[in-house]
Structures are given as C-alpha cells and as structure tokens.
Amino acid sequence: MAALNELFQSADWKKEKHIPVIEAPDKIKKGEALDIKVSVGKEIAHPNTTEHHIRSIEVYYLAQGEKFPVQIGKAEFGAHGESLQGPNASTIYSQPQAVFSLKIEKPGTILASSYCNIHGLWQNSKELTVE
C-alpha cells in the first residue's frame, strides 16, 4: 500500500504546470503581517477545464524546531466551465490562486500542495527567515 507522502510529485514550477508557486518574502520581522500567495500555472498555464482542473491548494507552516506543521488554509476551486448545457459550456473558469494573510513569529518552512483531478498531488516549499 502506498503512503500519502509517496504520492506527492514535485518539479520546477517554471517547467511544470501543476506545481504550487509560493510567493512570499524570504525574510520578515517577528510579528509582521505576511501575505503568502500560492498559484498554479504561473509560467505554464494549467487548462482548468471541466475535464482537467486544479481542485484545491493547501498551505502549511512548519516552524523551526516543531514536529508538525500548522495548516494555514485551504482554497477549493469549483468553477471549471461546467453547466447544465454540458462540459465547458459555461463562461466561468476558476484561476487557481489564493492569498493567505498571517503573522509568524518563528522561522520555518512554508509548504504548499495542489491537487489536479487528473495528475494528482503536487508540492512545493519555501524557507522563511524571521528576525
């Protein structure tokens, strides 16, 4: 039986359209407000059609010295062009991106995952220094 961590895929987001791209500063001051933007398809657009779409993005933070990460948030995307008239008959298509705002007091790692209904789970991470 496969373990969940064995199912996550990773690659360079500049060459792969499924990778969650984390946009956040490299360094912040302790207690400073921080926006973490996560998107999928920044360099290579993801189709986001009824048949092939990003369903969700999740973001976690693993503070230095901690054993487990804290879930920052989850964004789910439900508009993929489907309608009563059939697949891709609507004019509404989600763009998979979300912004999470918070304050962080310890350095650590921002962890992000995305889920594609066809190509599964993808992950990325970014280190954050807190002064």
Q: Which amino acids are annotated catalytic?
A: 16-18, 46, 52, 116, 119
Single-letter amino acid code for the residue at 64: Q
End-to-end CA distance of the chain: 43
Distances (CA, A) of 106 to 16, 21, 35, 68, 102: 31, 22, 16, 14, 12
Single-letter amino acid code for the residue at 60: Y
DSSP 52-79: S-EEEEEEEEEETT-SS-EEEEEEE---
**CA angle 24-30-34, nearest 5°?**
30
